[in-house]
Amino acid sequence: MSKRNKKSEVVIKETNRNSEDFTELELFVGNEKIGTIQQEKEQAITTINKNGNQAKAKNIDEAINNLIMDYNLHYM
């Protein structure tokens, strides 16, 4: 028997740590924080999931996709 598809709203919020040289975004599914995306100046983008594991991404879209895939794999 297969699972039903669940509709979940993903919300991206900027944190108060943002500046000209540093960008930080938080991803939420409902009210649950699933991860953080950080980038300093022109360096690679770093994703941090719920467990604190870090990974690199080429762009913001890839970082968002990686966090959502990790959440779907381990927490849904």
Model pLDDT for residues 14-36, shown as the tens digit of each residue: 999 888 899 999 999 989 999 99
Q: Is the pLDDT of residue 39 over 70?
A: yes
Q: Is the pLDDT of residue 75 over 80?
A: no
Rounded to two decimals, the pTM is 0.83
User: To which H or E segment does residue 63 belong?
Assistant: helix 60-75
- Give the Cα separation of 33 and 10 in Å (integer): 10
Q: Is the pLDDT of residue 2 over 70?
A: no
